């Protein structure tokens, strides 16, 4: 008799456990995802959504909506930033930024509680310096993780973004020089041209940019060239020597996107009337 009662109790407990698990699942809370102890000592069920990502500022920004799905509050303590170049971690740029904020608990399990809005930068000055001094063709990505503790003292981490491409294109200046910039009468025109591409306002050389050259006369040995480690692209203007009376001028222009710079090369004539 006693054994039968015990078995009946086991069946009832099993049935109740199934009902509780089913109810919690429908409620949208991942109670058992953290282990069975989470049922008795629940962690805050935090959700992080980014409402907007902007790259039009110096550092870029992400606007976050953070809320809880259960009756446990959350205290945000900061964000972990990790940057990768073509999938390889850049250790010197990894950092944790302190940022304190509060997320209220939900009144009803499974229902989003009050939203806390937080705005954070995507990257900081050190990553800007890193990108300015390196080729623009690099594939830089950022992974950001939210860090904090809940009202029960549990440490909590939540992904904010994973492998977000960091789009940063510095403003540039083109400095175009010709050597020599003038030729005496009857001398062959062979002028070396250097387009020096630097950032604004720091003057750092920009590597890996394609520079397109055009000329109003003569011929260029190369119509385009990529900037080297010093931010320089080169070509040479070649033209016949001027044995006429009037001066001949050649305008060479260097283009990078919508930026341009020009220089004029003069081959002097005889000046005779």
CATH code at 117?
2.60.40
**pTM of the full structure:** 0.54
Asked whether residue 155 falls in the same domain as residue 183, the answer is no
d(CA 238, CA 217): 9
Which pLDDT score is estimated for 27?
45
In DSSP terms, 263 is beta-bridged to 252
DSSP codes, 125-190: HHHHHHHHTS-TT--EEEEEEEEEEETT--EEEEEEEEEEE------EEEEEEEESSEE-TT--EE
To the nearest whole percent, how much of the chain has pLDDT over 90? 45
CA distances from 81 to 29, 56, 144, 234, 239 (A): 28, 20, 5, 39, 55
pLDDT given at position 60: 77
Tokens at residue 194, please? 């250097």
Q: For residues 180 and 257, state if they share a domain.
A: yes
Domain of 126?
46-165
Of 113, 135, 165, which marks where a domain is finished?
165
pLDDT of 234 strictly over 80: yes
More confident residue, 59 or 107: 107
Within this chain, do residues 226 and 256 fall inside the same structural domain, yes or no?
yes
Residue reference for tokens 């010709």: 178
pLDDT value for 28: 45
pLDDT at residue number 116:
94
Give the tens place of pLDDT for each residue, 138-196.
Answer: 578 889 999 999 988 899 999 999 888 876 666 789 999 999 999 999 899 999 999 99
Picking from 165, 183, 218, the residue at the C-terminal end of a domain is: 165
Q: Say if residue 133 is in the same domain as residue 59.
A: yes
Q: Is 232 in the same domain as 185?
A: yes
In the predicted model, what is the mean pLDDT of residues 234-263? 92
Into how many domains does the chain fold? 2
State how far the Cα of 7 lies from the Cα of 18, in Å rounded to an integer.
Answer: 17
Q: Residue 2 — pLDDT band, cuts 50, 70, 90?
A: low
Are both 236 and 131 inside the same structural domain?
Answer: no
Percent of residues, the chain, with pLDDT higher than 70 = 78
- Bridge partners (DSSP) listed for residue 179: 192
Strands 232-239 and 219-220, sheet pairing: antiparallel
In the predicted model, what is the mean pLDDT of the chain? 82
Distances (CA, A) of 71 to 89, 181, 183, 211: 37, 76, 83, 59
Same domain, 130 and 180: no
Q: Per the domain annotation, does 13 fall within a domain?
A: no
Residue 196 lies in a domain: yes
Q: Does residue 128 carry a pLDDT above 90? A: no
In a domain, 202, yes or no: yes
200 vs 144 pLDDT, higher one: 144
In degrees and rounded to multiples of 5, residue 80 shows phi and psi of -95, 130
Query: Is 136 inside a domain boundary?
Result: yes
Domain boundary among 165, 183, 215: 165
Residues 6+ apart with CB under 8 A from 34: 42, 43
Q: For the segment 82-115, what is each residue's pLDDT rounded down to a tens digit?
A: 999 888 899 988 899 999 999 999 998 888 999 9
Say if residue 58 is in the same domain as residue 159: yes
Q: Does residue 84 sit in the same domain as residue 145?
A: yes
Residue 32 forms part of a structural domain: no
């Amino acid at each position: 008799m006693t054994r039968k009662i015990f078995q009946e109790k086991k069946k009832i407990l099993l049935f109740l456990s199934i009902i509780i698990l089913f109810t919690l699942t429908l409620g949208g809370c991942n109670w058992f995802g953290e282990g069975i102890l989470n049922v008795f000592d629940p962690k805050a069920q935090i959700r992080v959504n980014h409402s907007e990502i902007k790259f039009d500022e110096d550092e870029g920004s992400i606007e976050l909506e953070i809320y809880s799905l259960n009756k446990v509050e959350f205290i945000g303590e900061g964000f972990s930033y990790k940057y990768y170049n073509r999938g390889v971690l850049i250790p010197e740029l990894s950092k944790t930024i302190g940022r304190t904020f509060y997320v209220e608990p939900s009144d009803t399990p499974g229902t989003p509680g009050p939203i806390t809005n937080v705005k954070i930068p995507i990257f900081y000055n050190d990553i800007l310096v890193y990108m300015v001094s390196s080729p623009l063709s690099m594939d830089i990505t950022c992974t950001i993780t939210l860090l904090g503790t809940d009202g029960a003292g549990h440490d909590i981490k939540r992904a904010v973004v994973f492998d977000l491409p960091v789009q940063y294109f510095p403003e540039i200046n083109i400095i175009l020089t010709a050597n020599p910039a003038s030729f005496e009468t009857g001398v062959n025109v062979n002028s070396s041209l250097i387009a020096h591409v630097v950032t604004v306002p720091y003057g750092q050389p920009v590597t890996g940019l394609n520079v397109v050259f055009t000329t109003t006369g003569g011929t260029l040995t190369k119509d385009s060239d990529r900037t080297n480690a010093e931010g320089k692209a080169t070509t040479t203007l070649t033209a016949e020597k001027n044995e006429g009376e009037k001066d001949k001028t050649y305008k060479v222009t260097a283009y990078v996107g919508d930026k341009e710079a020009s220089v004029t090369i003069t081959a002097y004539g005889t000046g005779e009337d």
